[in-house]
Amino acid sequence: MTIDENRDFFKEVAFVHFPALTTWLKEKATSPSKTIDAWAMTLRDVTTQEAISVIYRWTRDELPRPAYLELADFALHLRGVVMRDRADSRQAISLDAMKDRETQPGSYTHVSLKPFMARIWASGDAYRAGTITREQHDENTKQVLADHDCEYRKANLR
């Protein structure tokens, strides 16, 4: 929110739903308007819509709202809820994507890495034992990866 959006938000939404915030500002803040502008820095990466959503959920008791003694940190409480909402949203999107991958048969075919990794490890063991050179091990690794890519493409073209 910009400073102007922040001022409008507090005047038209926050103070309407939390009259105690107005009282607190008049009693405790040395300059209520400067305090509201300072809160704009805290809420700079919060959209007005996100802030309104938090206020409405606090009003409907869907979330624990700040107590009177916590009003000094009102903007921090609001921002904290928005950040948790965003984190929850990102997690939900990730989980949905994983579920979609798991529940859509035929969307991809898994090719086990075990046999390919075993070949790379065997080549590494041979290199450490001194039976092949580093260049030979690198070539073996490239070949194994190419073989895996080929198997993966074949499995996913079906």
- 139 in the same domain as 78: no
pLDDT tens per residue across span 77-122: 999 999 999 988 888 777 766 665 555 555 556 778 888 888 988 9
Where does residue 85 fall: left (phi above 0), alpha (psi -120 to 50 degrees), or beta otherwise? alpha
- 34 in the same domain as 97: yes
Q: Cβ of 122: how many Cβ atoms within 10 Å? A: 12
The answer to whether position 109 is within a domain reads no
* pLDDT of 126 over the 70 cut: yes
User: What pTM does this model have?
Assistant: 0.58
Q: Which residues contact 107 (CB under 8 A, 6 or more apart)?
A: 101
- 92 in the same domain as 58: yes
CA geometry: angle 70, 75, 80, nearest 5 deg: 90
Domain span at 129: 114-156
Q: What single-letter DSSP state applies at residue 72?
A: G
Give the DSSP H/E element, type plus range, for residue 132: none
Q: What single-letter DSSP state applies at residue 14?
A: I
Residue appearing with tokens 């529940």: 103
pLDDT tens per residue across span 30-77: 999 999 999 999 999 999 999 999 999 999 999 998 988 888 999 999
- 72 in the same domain as 119: no
In angstroms, the CA 50 to CA 77 distance is: 13
In angstroms, the CA 82 to CA 149 distance is: 43
Rounded mean pLDDT, 138-145: 92
Give me 101's structure tokens.
């991958």
For the chain, the domain total comes to 2
- 88 in the same domain as 32: yes
- 52 in the same domain as 128: no
- Listed residues 76, 103, 130: the one ending a domain: 103
